[in-house]
Structure 1
């Protein structure tokens, strides 16, 4: 019964939004956008609390709307900033943090809005990007490492802000095309074209770009620092074609394609690739 409910609930929500679009395309689009931007998980779990509490640092105010919780594991080496993915939090990096600590890196991470110990109820890439900019300006890292939506946010952040102190970027399992993500969203909820047109207008008005314009492929063309891109061919969350396209347009990037590691990319193999890359020429 539970599995059946999980399967049909998105269709019920989509049907409600479709009905709403009959009398107000704008209202239907706002509802669809709010659902799209609302994470169902990612808050700190009980078994994650102790690890994060030892490193809690500042809370930074972003856009006068959310307080972003930062974490710091101090070291005398280069500063590395870790950017987690959707429905996750800074704890996802704990194994990498242990390795980086042994190498004496100065490690910074933070919880995205509506995740971990940060405030807020929604998250989207533009909001995540402004949060990343606030954290980046405060801690001045030389290396960004992002996973999934955090990887795409890192790429968009560089495109938008061109930070001079960033020397290397690592992207793990990042998506690329908002248009492809929205097609999946439309399919899952069975939303009609009226709703999708309304969503596109809402995105244009709120962020200044259309759904089709938001492209990791295109943003990657602006990156002039070295980058490491890792993606698993069997990633069931984000298609491997996303990172292949980003790599094609990122002139100074190294691409590693794994097999059987999935979307999380937590494994020793991935950590070894990351450490080898960020230590090179440093």
Structure 2
């Protein structure tokens, strides 16, 4: 019964938004946005706790959030790790081992509503502002992001192009916000009236059009060196996202895989990331 209800729930939300939009498009859009940004997973699990507890560093206060940071000290350049949606800093454990073996100075942090950090919602502009706080605090030379974390890095870099960051790595990252929103519409089954109201809400709140929020556009003037990794069979972030970004990012390299999925924790991939940082 619970599984059946959980499958029906998105459609119930969609039907609710369709009806509510007849009376107030703005209220509908706000509720649809809040649902879109609500985080349901990603808190630290018992089996993750011991690993993260040993590396806990400062709690950074920014934008009304208390963000947990982690530190694995080393003598080489500083690397900042940026996890994806409904994840936390534990996801980097395999890469962190490789980075520590190469003596990099490694920082990571839990996004709002994730891991040990405060909050209930996350969206890329908020994540980017938190990232910028971490960049100012820890002065990383290299940034590595998985999934939405990669998109966040590229968006933030488009706003702060003169940062001291030298190299950027994205792993299985989406590119086009309109594609994400279209998937959301299909999942819930809300109509075009609700979609237009959502798009108008985004413009009024953040000042950009949905189709302009695009990693492939963010990188057009990016002068940093980049490494993109993406699996052809990724069902959470489409493979063509990184293809588009690579085509427009002059300083990027692209590693494609097949059959590794979305997480991409494999040792040989992490070794290629290390090689890129050293090159």
Report what 1:24 is aligned to: 24
Report what 1:12 is aligned to: 12
Q: TM-score, normalised by structure 1?
A: 0.97
User: Which aligned pairs between 1:97-116 and structure 2 lie closer than 5 A?
Assistant: 97-116=96-115
Name the SS for the 2:212 alignment partner. Answer: coil
Report what 2:34 is aligned to: 34
Name the SS for the 1:255 alignment partner. Answer: strand
Name the SS for the 2:260 alignment partner. Answer: coil
8 Å CA contact retained: 2:71, 2:108: yes
Distance 2:230 2:112 in 1: 25
Extract unaligned runs of 5+ from structure 2: none
CA distance change for structure 1 residues 269 and 5 in 2, over 3 Å: closer, same or farther? farther
Distance 1:110 1:162 in 2: 22
Distance 1:73 1:246 in 2: 31
- Equivalenced residue count is 279
8 Å CA contact retained: 2:42, 2:114: yes
Report what 1:56 is aligned to: 56
**Where in structure 1 do 4 or more consecutive aligned residues deviate above 4 Å?**
none
Name the SS for the 1:170 alignment partner. Answer: strand
Distance 1:43 1:197 in 2: 33
Match status 1:131 vs 2:135: no
Match status 1:158 vs 2:160: no
Report what 2:166 is aligned to: 167
Distance 2:62 2:197 in 1: 27
Distance 2:49 2:3 in 1: 30
CA deviation after TM superposition for structure 1 residue 164, in Å: 2.6
8 Å CA contact retained: 2:98, 2:271: no
Distance 2:161 2:55 in 1: 28
CA deviation after TM superposition for structure 1 residue 163, in Å: 4.2
CA deviation after TM superposition for structure 1 residue 245, in Å: 0.1
CA RMSD in angstroms comes to 1.0
Name the SS for the 1:212 alignment partner. Answer: helix
CA deviation after TM superposition for structure 1 residue 5, in Å: 2.5
CA deviation after TM superposition for structure 1 residue 31, in Å: 0.7
